[in-house]
Amino acid sequence: MQERSLGDILNETFAIFGKGGRSFALIAIVVFAPANLITFLGPRTELQHYVTAGAIPGSALFFYVLVALVTLVATTAVWSAASAAVGQQLVTGSIDVKECFKRVSWRLYSLLLLSFTLTIGLAICVGGIVIVIPAIVAAGFLLFGSLAIPAALYEGRKYVSALRRSFQLVRSMWPRILGGMILITLVMLGTGLVISVPSLLLLSLDSGSLSLASMGIQYLVSLIANSAAVTISAVAVTLLYFDTRIRLEGFGLEKLSYEINYSDKN
């Protein structure tokens, strides 16, 4: 394993994603397919409508909380399993989907806590127009905690230890990590846009009589967009994590080979 530029990491991301496309698709669809269905089973009124009205029914509130929890768990599971798949493919040249989810279950509690913490940080950061100082702090936390999930998956670290490990790695070369995260975010947004725009144009021409078909199109587009964005970002961040360890610690395939079997040795 050699040091890579950010451009090389991006190129390898798509190479790995292309080579293991079926496995990455299976990882995403087996989780997102049922999870995304939930959004079509609740009230059709958008949350913004309730916010504008200043009141939200209890049933609608329960639904939105449920959707948020399911989305968090589903995204964490898919992202983590896709991250585990990267190590498998680099070492063995293939991906065992069952083993990927087995590794996720091994540190599921810590992974969910990390994901929840980073999501809260993202929410505060996005709300920076109103609360500037907390948003700046949250942005810093997101940057320094960005490698925590791979640290939990590959090094077997629990919640607090994974965050500390991420801070340790990022602190040494934060400008590079920042650049990488910005690039990965742009790729995610671009991927979602490319997938979504054609269907949105199609739906804009749809009539009310085809509402069921419209819902079906929305479901499929959401499933594809979520699957692509989450798995691609997982591959890219994992490669960035590996590259950071290569630069700081001389990390290589021998060490990676040991770590992907970590759960069998502890």
pLDDT at 202: 61
Q: Does residue 89 form part of some domain? A: yes
Q: Does residue 219 form part of some domain? A: yes
Q: Which residue has the tokens 């040991």?
A: 258
**pLDDT tens digits, one per residue of 108-159:** 999 999 999 999 988 888 776 667 778 888 889 999 999 999 999 999 999 9
Q: Does residue 122 form part of some domain? A: yes
Tell me the average pLDDT of the chain: 86
Q: Does residue 1 form part of some domain? A: no
Number of domains in the chain: 1
Lowest mean pLDDT among 52-56, 106-110, 118-122, 163-167: 52-56
Q: Does residue 76 form part of some domain? A: yes
Percent of the chain residues topping a pLDDT of 90: 58
Question: What does the alpha-carbon distance between residue 150 and residue 42 come to, in Å, rounded to a whole number?
Answer: 34
pTM score: 0.87
Helix, strand, coil tally for the chain in percent (to 5): 85, 0, 15
pLDDT at 117: 93
Helices (H), 127-210: 132-144, 148-155, 159-172, 174-204
Helix (H) or strand (E) holding 7: helix 6-19
Q: Does residue 141 form part of some domain? A: yes
Q: Does residue 134 form part of some domain? A: yes
Q: Give the range of the structural domain holding residue 29, as residue numbers without chain letter.
A: 6-264
Question: What does the alpha-carbon distance between residue 230 and residue 178 come to, in Å, rounded to a whole number?
Answer: 19
Q: Does residue 157 form part of some domain? A: yes
DSSP assignment of 186-240: HHHHHHHHHHHHHHHHHHHT--GGGHHHHHHHHHHHHHHHHHHHHHHHHHHHHHH
**pLDDT tens digits, one per residue of 187-225:** 988 888 888 776 666 656 555 545 667 777 778 888 898
